[in-house]
Amino acid sequence: MYKISPAYFSHSDLIDEYIDLYTMVLWVSCINNGIDGDNCNKLVTNFGSCLSCPSFNSFTFREVEFNCDDLLFFDYVIKNLYAEIKFRDLLILEDLQNQLYETFDKITKNDIINILNRCIDRYSKEPYVQLCELKNINTDARIPIPKNAQQLWSHHKYSIMARDVNLYKEIGKEVADNKSQEYFEKLCLLLSRKLTEKPAKKAILNSLQHMWGYISDWSDIKKSEVVKLSLKEFFEQIQRCVELSNQEYLMQQTATVELGTWKY
C-alpha cells in the first residue's frame, strides 16, 4: 500500500489502492481470528463496502511483520482513500463510489494472493520512491506530482499546521533554502509519517479557519452563522466552496480531504 497522499492518485489508482488495502487487511484479520482460507476468501469478496479496518493483533506475511501500530496506519489510509473518492465524485460528478463496489464484485479468491503481494511490495518502498512511480500515470489526479520539496510542502501546509504549528513554521523556513534531492526525500518521509497522527480538534479548526479566508466569498452562509457550525459542517462547507470556486491553491491541499477523516 502507498504511504503518500491519495490526492496524487489517478481515479483508477485510487479505486485499485482502496480495494487492495481493504482486501489485505480483511483477509489477514480473518486468518488472525482462525477463519480458514476458503471462508476468508468468501468474506473478502462479499464485504467490500466497509470503511474501516477489521481488528488484528499482529501478523507476518512474506517475512514482513505487522502489528497494532500498523493497524492505525491502515485505518487512516483506508478512510483517507474513501474520503478522496467521495470528494472526486463531488468535483467531477462521476460515480467513483459505484465503480468501487462494482470492482469489488469482480474479485475472486485467485486475485487475493496477488493483492497481498502488491501491498507488501508497495509498503516496503519509501514514500519518495512511491511518489516517483506515479509520475507517469497520475493523469487525472487532484494534486500534480511535486517536482521538488517546495511544491511538496505547498501541498501539505495545512495538514501539518493542524498537527504541529512549530513544525509548520520550521519547515516553512527550511524549505526555501533546501533544493537538494536529499532534502526532498527526507521531507517526503517526514510528511507521510506526520499525516498519520491524529490532530487535535482545536488544531483542525485553526487550519480550517486559515483555509476559509481563501474561499469564504463563495459561501452563502452569513459570517455570524459560521461560528455556529460544527467542525464537520465547517469542513463540508469549505469543501463545497472549494468545488464551487475551483480555487487551485486549496484544491491542491491534502488537508482539503484528509482533515475530514478524523471524527470528533
Q: Are residues 91 and 120 in the same domain?
A: yes
Q: Among 130, 154, 171, which residue terminates a domain?
A: 130
Q: Are residues 197 and 255 in the same domain?
A: yes
Percent of the chain with pLDDT over 70: 79
Global pTM?
0.84
Q: Are 239 and 90 in contact (CB under 8 A)?
A: yes
Burial of residue 224 (number of CB atoms within 10 Å: 0-12, 13-18, 19+): exposed
Q: What is the pLDDT of residue 20?
A: 86
pLDDT in tens, 143-172: 999 999 999 999 999 999 999 999 999 999
Instruction: Answer yes or no: is 1 within a domain.
Output: no
Q: CA of 66: how far to CAs of 20, 34, 56, 161, in Å? A: 16, 17, 10, 29
222: Cα within 13 Å, side-chain hemisphere: 2
Of 249, 221, 94, the C-alpha closest to 157 is 249
User: How many of the other CB atoms lie within 10 Å of CB of 143?
Assistant: 22
C-alpha cell at 166: 512549530
CA distance 75 to 97: 18
Per the structure, the complete domain to which residue 221 belongs is given by 146-264
C-alpha cell at 239: 469543501
The residues with which 61 forms a beta bridge, in sequence order, are: 64
Instruction: Answer yes or no: is 141 within a domain.
Output: no
Instruction: Answer yes or no: is 137 within a domain.
Output: no
Q: CA of 118: how far to CAs of 22, 28, 94, in Å? A: 13, 14, 27
Q: What is the pLDDT of residue 128?
A: 87
First-residue to last-residue Cα distance in the chain: 27
Q: What is the pLDDT of residue 250?
A: 94
pLDDT in tens, 185-206: 999 999 999 998 999 999 999 9
Q: Among 79, 104, 130, which residue terminates a domain?
A: 130
Q: Are residues 191 and 255 in the same domain?
A: yes
Q: Are residues 110 and 27 in the same domain?
A: yes
CA distance 137 to 148: 18
Domain count, the chain: 2
Instruction: Answer yes or no: is 140 within a domain.
Output: no
